[in-house]
Amino acid sequence: MRIYSWNVNGIRSVWNKGLFQKFIAEHTPDILCLQETKAMKEDSPITRIDLPDYTECWHSAVKRGYSGTAIFTKTEPLHVINGFVPEVQNKYTFVDQYGDPTQEGRVISAEYSDFYLVTVYTPNSKGDLSRLALRATVWDAAFLAHCQHLEKKKPVLFCGDLNVAHTEDDLARPGENEDKHGFTQEERAGFERFIQAGYADTFRLFTKGNGHYTWWTAWGGARARNVGWRIDYFLASAEIKNRITEAQIHADVMGSDHCPVSVTL
């Protein structure tokens, strides 16, 4: 089973370029997790040009054209959860000066026979770090609690745009970006708590070192020069980690400022 994750930065945009269709035809994922869909299901070209092999599970933001996640899957899930489980949702206060991130379609979880698959579009802490407090004190802790709640029942595999480079190997210019958004000590500590809780960064099971990135700024030819960041991940709980035989970054897939990442079970 090949599972992909891709921040498409607008599904209508990548579809209209013809690059979403090209990706599906060439990679034929068994499950595809999407972030930043920026569309309601009824707005999407996918719903007008059916993908007959896939069941579509959408969690769109209340605000149209913003954020959102989806899972397209050849195996129909037993159950789908949009957002955090109630035990987590009711524990934290999520609202900040920008609004309520739990109304932005950022988390969707699909239950399968022997594992949960969760995809997430983590809030960006913003260039002025004005949303760092949300990340550091609320979001990362809540997302970890959500995954751990699911893990009481079945192993968890989670993926998506986590909006953080974990280590210096995960971005091309760590020195220039120290303590800037996406590479603050607080965000990196939030990621490290996933590791301490027993979740494995699947790409690092197979590949070490730098030069492996999933997001590039649109400026200065950064992607052509591979001056990027690795902020898109698959993390696996201990019970499912050993089933993963491959983890890849597909930097040749175009259409977004992010590229897809994948694991094979």
The residues that are catalytic are 121, 161
Task: Give CA–CA dist 182/9, Å, rounded.
Answer: 17
> Are 107 and 59 spatial neighbours (Cβ–Cβ below 8 Å)?
yes
Where residue 226 falls (left for φ over 0; alpha for ψ -120 to 50; beta otherwise) is left
Task: Give CA–CA dist 133/130, Å, rounded.
Answer: 7
What does DSSP say about strands 31-35 and 79-82: parallel, antiparallel, or unpaired?
unpaired
Contacts of 108 (CB under 8 A, 6+ apart): 57, 58, 59, 69, 70, 71, 80, 81, 82, 83, 118, 119
CA 3 to chain centre: 12
Token pair 């960006």: residue? 124
Instruction: Supply φ then ψ for residue 188, to 5 degrees.
Output: -65, -35
The candidate with the shortest Cα–Cα distance to 234, out of 196, 193, 205, 197, is 205
Instruction: Supply φ then ψ for residue 22, to 5 degrees.
Output: -65, -45
> Are 258 and 228 spatial neighbours (Cβ–Cβ below 8 Å)?
no
